[in-house]
Amino acid sequence: MSNSLHSKPQNVAILGATGTIGLQTLDVMAQHPERFKVFALTANNSVTGMLDLCLKFKPEYAVMLQAQAANELAVKLKQHANNTIVLSGEEALSEIASHEQVDVVMAAIVGSAGLHPAIAAAKAGKRILLANKETLVMAGSLFMKAVQDGAATLLPIDSEHNAIFQVMPHQRAKYLAEMGIRRILLTASGGPFRELSTAQMHAVTLAQALNHPNWVMGPKITIDSATMMNKGLEVIEAHWLFNATAEQIDVVVHPQSVIHSMVEYNDGSVLAQLGNPDMRTPIAYGLGYPERLESGVSSLDLLKIARLDFVAPDMQRFPCLRLAYEALKTGGTAPTILNAANEIAVEAFLAERIGFMEIAQIIETVLSASEIVAVESIAQLVDIDSAARAHARKCLLQHV
């Protein structure tokens, strides 16, 4: 399909515009101004970051989660004679995600704050580029139903799920077996601590945990990668995205982060998607699908890489991965509780209130003490999420 067929640029709303994924999305879009228009940008409270983006891209709307930040931004934009309309609050996020003029929604808000706008985009039938893990982890069944009912297009942006999506058959069936698929192989870098002993991991510092060997990401996701909770959340995501059981999803530690994931077929074939570890590749794939767009990512030099290594993950040293598998197998509200407790524990570690290995201890304590029930509604999940966070905070107080 040639670019000449795209007479009107697609309007894109970027939820989480000042984060790593948001900025990389803007980078890819800037390479294709005839294809995409920045319609709306959202952020939490980064006024300086949002001001720069609004002055550069001139979106129709800017949304700040916090009202004070929105007021500051509005004043600064007025000083620059910028006409971007500034809104604030969670409802505004959902309004923008479902706006009638929006064609594509990049859902890149980190954490549970991204749930409501993602659901709104699904119900409105948007093309959703999903980079927010918590939407599927917290409310997988409800979100996938909203996608189906709203006739939305869902494209995973996590490099691993994007890789799986790319190497699956174009003619999709409900179950993996119907597509001749035996299992999904989720690759994991293993983070910075894959070779440390358990004793050494108890002494890990915040600075060490924030130093990921391969990927440039925000602090929360970087810590999740170091604990391998990130991979655990991706296992739960893969379950919902590809209708795969826990037994059909294997995690393989691959330190080079060149193979982003694999799909094994019944005939013994294993198809993999390879590329440099750069999120602009899956972002460009999502924006252009089913076409391939230039992303700005350099060519993969296999001769320079020279070797590809694979090892099994150690569930003893990385208990967060074990807890995520257990939550998936338990089902119901267990993944919501897992995610909520993890967010509070990681927040505490980032504030240097707890040690690295205590992240998993807090999550396990909260899960063990929580009643697991069937998922019924978003309101129910929000309540359960709040309760799990309160329990995690109580654990922190007892810890101190």
DSSP per residue, 149-168: HTT-EEEE-SHHHHHHHHHS
Tell which residue, 15, 46, 11, 42, has the closest CA to residue 29.
11
DSSP per residue, 254-291: -TT--EEEEEEETTS-EEEEE--S-THHHHHHHHHTTS
pLDDT reported for residue 1: 38
Tell which residue, 101, 153, 109, 150, has the closest CA to residue 127.
153
Q: Element (H or E) spanning 237, and its range? A: helix 229-242
Give CATH for domain 3-156.
Answer: 3.40.50.720
pLDDT reported for residue 112: 78
The C-alpha atoms of residue 335 and residue 247 are separated, in whole angstroms, by 17
Residues 63 and 45 sit within 8 Å (Cβ to Cβ): no
Q: Put residue 28 in one of left, alpha, beta given phi > 0 → left and psi -120 to 50 → alpha.
A: alpha
pLDDT reported for residue 4: 42
Domain 3-156 shares a fold with domain 331-400: no
Residues in the chain: 400
pLDDT reported for residue 48: 97
| CATH class of the structural domain 331-400 | mainly alpha
Q: What is the mean pLDDT of each run of 10 residues along the chain (400 residues)?
A: 63 96 97 98 96 98 96 97 96 98 96 90 98 92 97 97 95 91 96 90 92 78 93 97 97 95 98 96 97 97 96 95 98 97 96 96 97 96 96 87
Q: Is 304 helix (H, G, I), strand (E, B) or coil?
A: helix
Domain ranges for the chain: 3-156, 158-321, 331-400
Contacts of 169 (CB under 8 A, 6+ apart): 179, 180
